[in-house]
DNA sequence: GAGTCGTGGGG
DNA sequence: TCCCCAAGACT
C-alpha cells in the first residue's frame, strides 16, 4: 500500500484491510472487486489486484505464509526489489539492502553531497547503498529501519530538518553549503486530462456502485470519442472490470 | 530505459 | 493556485 503513497494516508485503510483479511488465505479468497473497493482511493489500484494475487501465490507456493527469502518474495506479484528487501529486513530481521526513495535521498545528500537523487535508481546508487549496510544481520536490520526513517522524518525532500539531524556533522551536502539540485529534471507527472484520470474516474464510479452500471453511466467522464470504451476494455483486460454475463452493456467490478 | 499507472496533501 | 512528491512495479 505504501508503494508511492504517503504512509500517513495508508494507515487507516491498512487497519481496516488487515482486520478484514488477516491472513494470505483470507485475502486469496476475496474477489478482485472486493479488494478494489477496500483499496478505495489509495491510488494505483492495480496494486490491490497484485496484492490479492500475491496472497494466492503464498497459499499455492508457501503454505499460506509470507516467504522469508528475498528471491521468493521477488517472485510474488507486485513485489519488486524494494518490497522484497523491506519485508526480509523488517519482518524477518535479515540482512538486505533496502533502497526506497527515502534511503536514496539520505545517501544522495549525506554521502554524495547533492540535494536529491537521480530520477530513477542507478547502478551507482545501488552499489553505494549496499556498501553502507552493516555486515551483522541484527545491526543491518536496525540500519535499514533507521536510514529510511531518517529520510522520512528528518531528511525530507521539501524541508530538510538539518538542525535536528544526527548526520549533520559530516553530511556532504551540508558541508557543500546545501547546493540546489542540478540534474535531470523529473518530468512532471500531469494528471488532468490523462488516461489515468479517466481510468480513475471510471473505477471510482464502479467502486461506488453496489452492483453494476450501464455503459451510459460513464458518458460524461470524458468527451473524447472512443476513449471511455478503450479504457473500459483495458480495465476488463487487466481484471478490474467485467461485463455482466447476460448483458454486455452493463459493467461491474470483477467478482 | 523510458512510459505508464492514482490520488491527495503540504509548501 | 500550482507544483512537487509520496516505503515502486512492470512493460
pLDDT band per the 50, 70, 90 thresholds, residue A185: confident
Q: Which domain holds residue A243?
A: 195-253
Confirm whether any atom of chain C, the nucleic acid strand, is less than 7 Å from CB of A44.
yes
Nucleotides of B under 7 A from a protein CB: 1-11
Give the CATH number, domain containing residue A141: 1.10.1670.10
Is the pLDDT assigned to residue A204 strictly greater than 80?
yes
How far is it, in rounded angstroms, from Cα A14 to Cα A163? 33
Kindly report, residue by residue over A122-148, the tens digit of the pLDDT. 999 999 999 999 999 999 999 999 999
CA to C1' distance (Å), from A164 to C2? 30
Examine the domain organization and report whether A73 and A85 are in the same domain. no
Determine the average pLDDT of the residues in A3-11: 96
Examine the domain organization and report whether A68 and A89 are in the same domain. no
Kindly report, residue by residue over A58-97, the tens digit of the pLDDT. 999 999 999 999 999 999 999 999 999 999 999 999 999 9
Q: Is A219 exposed, middle or buried (0-12, 13-18, 19+ CB in 10 A)?
A: exposed
CA to C1' distance (Å), from A206 to C10? 25
pLDDT at A122: 95
Kindly report, residue by residue over A226-249, the tens digit of the pLDDT. 999 999 999 999 999 999 999 989
Confirm whether any atom of chain B, the nucleic acid strand, is less than 7 Å from CB of A187.
yes
Is A2 inside a domain boundary? no
Q: Which nucleotide minimizes the distance between its C1' and the CA of A191?
A: B6
Share of chain A above pLDDT 90, in %: 94
Contact A134, A117 (CB under 8 A): no
pLDDT at A183: 77
Kindly report, residue by residue over A164-177, the tens digit of the pLDDT. 999 999 999 999 99
Q: Which nucleotide minimizes the distance between its C1' and the CA of A153?
A: C7
Q: CA-CA-CA-CA torsion for A193, A199, A202, A206, nearest 10 degrees?
A: -150
Amino acid at each position: 500500500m505504501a508503494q508511492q503513497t504517503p504512509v500517513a494516508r495508508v494507515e487507516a485503510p491498512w487497519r481496516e484491510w488487515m482486520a478484514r483479511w488477516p491472513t494470505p488465505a483470507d485475502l486469496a479468497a476475496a474477489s478482485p472487486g472486493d479488494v478494489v473497493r477496500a483499496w478505495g482511493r489509495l491510488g494505483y489500484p492495480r496494486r490491490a489486484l497484485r496484492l490479492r494475487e500475491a496472497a494466492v501465490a503464498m497459499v499455492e507456493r508457501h503454505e499460506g505464509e509470507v516467504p522469508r527469502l528475498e528471491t521468493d518474495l521477488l517472485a510474488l506479484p507486485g513485489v519488486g526489489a524494494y518490497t522484497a528487501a523491506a519485508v526480509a529486513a523488517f519482518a524477518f530481521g535479515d540482512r538486505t539492502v533496502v533502497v526506497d526513495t527515502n534511503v536514496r535521498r539520505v545517501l544522495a545528500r549525506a554521502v554524495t553531497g547533492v540535494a536529491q537523487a537521480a530520477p530513477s535508481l542507478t547502478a551507482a546508487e545501488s552499489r553505494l547503498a549496499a556498501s553502507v549496510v552493516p555486515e551483522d544481520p541484527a545491526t543491518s536490520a536496525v540500519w535499514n529501519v533507521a536510514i529510511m526513517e531518517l529520510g522520512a522524518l528528518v531528511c525530507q525532500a521539501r524541508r530538510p530538518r538539518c538542525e535536528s539531524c544526527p548526520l549533520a556533522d559530516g553530511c556532504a551536502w551540508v558541508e557543500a553549503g546545501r547546493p540546489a539540485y542540478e540534474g535531470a529534471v523529473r518530468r512532471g507527472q500531469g494528471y488532468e486530462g490523462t488516461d489515468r484520470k479517466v481510468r480513475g474516474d471510471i473505477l471510482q464510479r464502479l467502486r461506488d456502485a453496489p452492483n453494476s452500471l450501464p455503459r451510459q453511466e460513464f458518458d460524461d467522464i470524458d468527451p473524447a470519442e472512443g476513449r471511455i470504451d478503450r479504457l473500459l476494455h483495458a480495465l476488463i483486460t487487466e481484471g478490474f472490470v467485467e461485463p455482466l454475463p447476460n448483458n454486455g452493456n452493463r459493467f461491474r467490478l470483477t467478482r
